[in-house]
Homo-oligomer: A and B are copies of this chain.
Amino acid sequence: MAAPAIAITDPDDKRVAPFRAIREKDLVGRQGLFIAEGTVVLRVLAEADAARFEADRILVLENRLAGIAGILESYPEDVPVFTCNAAVMNAIAGFDMHRGVLALGRIAGRPMAEELIAALPEDALVVVCIGLSNHDNAGAIFRNATALGADAVLLDETSCDPLYRKALRVSVGSVLKMPWTRNGKGPEILSALARAGFDVVALSPAGGEAVHHLVPGRRVALVLGTEGEGLPVDIMEAFRTVRIPQAPGLDSLNVGNAAAIALYQLALAKGRIG
């Protein structure tokens, strides 16, 4: 049960300082902290594995308090809940940036890619992102991976942070549920997966094989590249490549939607959904 809400009347109150100017993502990202926005993500954060993510404090518009009482009850009492009116909230977080419900989360533990790979089940489907740059796409990929039953997402060190406010919101909180890492270089992650018995499959509009012709093994890693540019040539040459068949001469799918289709097809072929 969370503690009773504490009223905040001064936007400069130090207790809500971490919610200041949440548009400036780096302020938060650098310190192992993140912003959870909206009731959906607030609910997921309450249920997150405490070894990975913890809530630090919560800030809620006063007229939203009653409606989310049930979610707040699921937080421990040492997580303070602050509340304020709309004018103070806008002064703290920036107009229209908060959805009336904000939590500050803390990363409690960050596994390395090798550790995460070592913990994967014998039958496994994972997503690898190399140079993914767009937070909306990161959020969409986590949501798709979760809905289609993937076991983990491995982002290379150059990919964007899925804990960034917008990515977390687009993921409907699945970034706090799905096992994932964001470290290491792309080729090293793929080599580690290959050593662990994964079929590494690179997705590209130029892929050699239509994804529905692939007969996946017990362990499959689907590799996604940078928006626009796609995967580097060395990775395309080193691993099996697949494509989503498309109407000729037309623009290719966005990476998030391409991931949805490829994961669906692989999960279906592996008998994980159906």
Stretch touching chain B among A2-10, A84-92, A140-148, A183-191? A140-148
User: CA separation between A246 and B145, bound complex, in Å?
Assistant: 10
- Whether B251 contacts A264 by the Cβ 8 Å rule is no
Of A245, A247, A254, A257, most buried by chain B (CB within 10 Å of CB) is A257
Is the pair A274, B143 in contact by a Cβ cutoff of 8 Å? no
A265 to chain B, nearest CB (A): 8
> What's the minimum C-beta distance from A220 to chain B, rounded to whole angstroms?
15
Bound form: Cα–Cα A185–B273 in Å: 35
A147 CB contact (under 8 Å) in B212, B251, B256, B265: B251
Interface residues on A, range: 20 to 34
A21 contacts partner chain B, Cβ-Cβ < 8 Å: no
- The count of identical subunits is 2
A130 contacts chain B at the CB level, 8 A cutoff: no
Interface digits, A248-263 against B, CB 8 Å rule (1 contact, 0 not)?
A: 0011111011101100
Given contacts A260-B261, A261-B260, A264-B261, contact A272 B253 (CB under 8 A): no
- Min CB distance A46 to B, Å, is 15
List B contacts of A256 (CB < 8 A).
Answer: 257
Could you jot down 10 A-B contacts, CB within 8 Å?
A146-B251, A147-B246, A147-B252, A148-B253, A245-B274, A247-B273, A256-B257, A261-B261, A261-B264, A264-B264
The answer on a CB contact under 8 Å between A146 and B250 is: yes
Interface residues of A in 70-89 (CB under 8 A from B): none
